[in-house]
Structure 1
Amino acid sequence: MQVITDLLPVILFFIAYKKAGIFVATSVAILSTLALMLYSWFKHGKIEKMLMINGIVITVLGGITLLLHDKTYIMWKPTAIYWIAALGLLISRYGMQRNLIQNMLGKMMAPPAHLWDKLNLYWVAFLLALGVLNLYVAFHFEEADWVNFKLFGVTSLMFVFIIAQVFALKAYWIEQNSPPA
């Protein structure tokens, strides 16, 4: 369910883009993200950090896009999110001595401590590379190609990266005891 809500603004952006263009799609992305934030607030009493950051970035860069009628700013949005996430992983690990990847996955797997740091750095490198790739596609290909890449390309790359980690770390997965039937 979380994946669907995370992808919902991107999917709605894609649909709106196909029907009405980049500026309507930007408005839809802003409104759908803000709606998700409100839903999260009313349902859980809080807004997750990444959703909050995404909401701020989409509102600022999307707002500038609409105000100046310049698609450049919305095209920078994915890169900004990826680089903020990479920076967050680095600051958390080396500034606060907390490995966010370990916090998220620590109940599912138990690799040696040094592998948690490697995994964290792999995520940082992946997110930095994804940001660069977004900029390359945004400014070296047609707008429609970038929109398709944003939904299908990034989602596919993320899926492949996660699956590769699952296979690489399969020896460390913790067996989940299922309750008797």
Structure 2
Amino acid sequence: MKQLLELWPVLLFFLTYQWSDIYSATAVLMAAVTVHSAVLWWHKRQLTPMQWMTLLLVLVFGGATLLLQDPRFIQWKPTLLNWLMAAAFAGSHFVGEKPLIRHLLDSQISLPQPLWRRLSLAWILFFLFSGLLNLFVAYNFDEATWVSFKLFGLLGLTLLFVVLQSIWLARHLPDETTAADPQKQPPAEA
């Protein structure tokens, strides 16, 4: 639900673009992300690193788009955000005791270390692919297609990835009935 609430600035960007142009939509996105960040700060007295990155990238690349009247800057923002996320996930394997994905999900699921590494690698590859796909759409299709892709394509791709990841994770989670009652465990294979 939290992730869906964070989509309202992108939805406003999309709707403004439908009624106006990329520059008006960019200005609305900049204002919406700033308001969203301010409300989160007021409510929780903190922003996550992802929220700080998003705010910074929207303001810098949105500002460049408006100042230089060049939409390529705002089109690069999703790619840079995805690639920064990939770098953060990859870097977490070398800094600290556990990968970033484990920090995010450790309280909800229990996995052996090799599966945490595979899950982290999957997210790294997903973020790299999403960034590349954004650039492919931005440079090979018209602006209106990219604006639709930014909302529906990237969101749909992320939801599909999460569903596939959930199916993969379900296969590796211990069965609750066998974990609770050792006598119900299947016999060991010979």
Using structure 1 for the length normalisation, give the TM-score.
0.92
Tell me the amino acid that sits aligned with residue 28 of structure 2.
V
Residue 65 of structure 1 deviates from its aligned partner by 0.3
Tell me the amino acid that sits aligned with residue 119 of structure 2.
L
Residue 98 of structure 1 deviates from its aligned partner by 2.9
**Match for residue 142 of structure 2?**
142
Residue 174 of structure 1 deviates from its aligned partner by 8.1
Residue 69 of structure 1 deviates from its aligned partner by 0.4
1:125 aligns with 2:112: no
**Match for residue 184 of structure 2?**
none
* Kept in 2: contact 1:27–1:62 (CA 8 A): yes
- Take 2:169 and 2:44, find their aligned partners in 1: how far apart are those partners? 32
DSSP-derived class of the 1:93 partner: coil
CA gap of 1:43–1:141, structure 2 versus 1, over 3 A, is same
Specify the structure having the higher radius of gyration (Cα): 2
Deviation per CA, 1:4-41: give whole Å up to 9, x if none.
22211110100011011100000011110010111011
CA gap of 1:38–1:136, structure 2 versus 1, over 3 A, is same
**Match for residue 34 of structure 1?**
34
Which region of structure 1 is more displaced relative to structure 2, 102-111 or 127-136? 102-111
Q: Hey, which bits of structure 1, 4+ residues long, moved more than 6 A?
A: none
Deviation per CA, 1:20-68: give whole Å up to 9, x if none.
1100000011110010111011111111211111000010000000000
Tell me the amino acid that sits aligned with residue 41 of structure 1.
W
**Match for residue 55 of structure 2?**
55
Residue 92 of structure 1 deviates from its aligned partner by 1.6
CA gap of 1:173–1:48, structure 2 versus 1, over 3 A, is farther
* Kept in 2: contact 1:65–1:74 (CA 8 A): yes
Tell me the amino acid that sits aligned with residue 99 of structure 1.
P
CA gap of 1:95–1:43, structure 2 versus 1, over 3 A, is same
Residue 2 of structure 1 deviates from its aligned partner by 0.8
Structure 2 gap segments, 5+ residues each: 177-190
**Match for residue 43 of structure 1?**
43
Using structure 2 for the length normalisation, give the TM-score.
0.88
Tell me the amino acid that sits aligned with residue 65 of structure 2.
T
* Kept in 2: contact 1:109–1:174 (CA 8 A): no
Residue 97 of structure 1 deviates from its aligned partner by 3.5
- Take 2:98 and 2:58, find their aligned partners in 1: how far apart are those partners? 27
- Take 1:95 and 1:104, find their aligned partners in 2: how far apart are those partners? 15
% identical aligned pairs: 35
**Match for residue 81 of structure 2?**
81
Root-mean-square deviation (CA, aligned residues, Å) is 1.3
Structure 1 gap segments, 5+ residues each: 176-181
**Match for residue 72 of structure 2?**
72
How many residue pairs align between the two structures?
175
- Take 1:2 and 1:173, find their aligned partners in 2: how far apart are those partners? 27
